[in-house]
Chains A and B, each alone.
Chain A
């Protein structure tokens, strides 16, 4: 006998176990949590710029259809995975220090400038990637390089 189950009121969210159809190539999901992603965000933006822009243009063209941009989406994920792997190969300690700091500080960048600068320096030396914030005022020190900022944590 079948009964009605409201999936919205279940104790567990409903998970559809069906895998992707076989005609779609498989890609390993990135699987990083929010703090490592936030730590790596500007490097993902710098390293995967073309793939990201391509994907977003495709999304704009498809008006929300998820089937339309699967190929571009796989490229985006592969590129991000590639970058995270490279970061872990080259700057593992600095990366770990920064995202652990973010994890402990409500994921605020301003609270973690010291590990961030170490990570930025390592990323520039090893991979040639720099953190740039688009749209920040010309001719001023970018916010992540200000020596004595007004906003800091209570405990230095």
Chain B
């Protein structure tokens, strides 16, 4: 005879618990994340180029100022060296102070800065 309340239902369904999102969903999510990342990288590269341009132009704008200051100092040192040379070589006949060693009018910076 059956027990009171009847037999329990026969378990015939497959027992497959939910094991997370499907492969297709994960693949899509990863693709989306990567796409966003590359979009940011691309934007960042464009921005980096502009930042570099900004930095370079800030230096370009300062070049004349710094060059002018350096030129004044170089000229002052040149004149001082010329005076020293005149003083040292005043007894040597036929010596031309500040004469270039080259037979060429082109300007050349002094090789030695100071002789102590």
Binding site for B on A (CB under 8 A): 4-5, 7, 14, 16, 18-21, 24, 27, 29-30, 37-38, 41-42, 44-45, 48, 51-52, 55-56, 59, 62-67, 69-70, 72-74, 76-77, 80, 109-110, 133-137, 142-144, 146, 149-151
Contact = CB atoms under 8 A, between A and B. Distances in A.
Interface stretch (B5-13, B25-33, B106-114): B106-114
A41 B59 contact: yes
Given A18-B79, A63-B107, A41 B58 contact: yes
B57 A45 contact: yes
Interface in B66-85: 67-72, 74-80, 83
B107 A51 contact: no
A41 B51 CA distance: 15
Nearest to A4: B116
Identify whether the interface residues of B are mostly helix, strand, loop, or mixed: helix
Interface residues of B, number: 39
10 contacts: A18-B77, A18-B80, A45-B61, A56-B63, A70-B75, A72-B68, A77-B69, A133-B57, A134-B57, A146-B47
Contacts of A146: 47
B88 to A, nearest CB: 12
A149 B50 CA distance: 11
Contacts of A7: 113-114, 116
Nearest to B47: A150
Contacts of B113: 7, 14
Contacts of A136: 50, 53
Given A77-B69, A146-B47, A150-B47, A109 B109 contact: no
Contacts of B63: 56
A63 B71 CA distance: 13
Contacts of A16: 76-77, 80, 114
A65 B65 CA distance: 16
A44 B65 contact: yes
B75 A55 contact: no
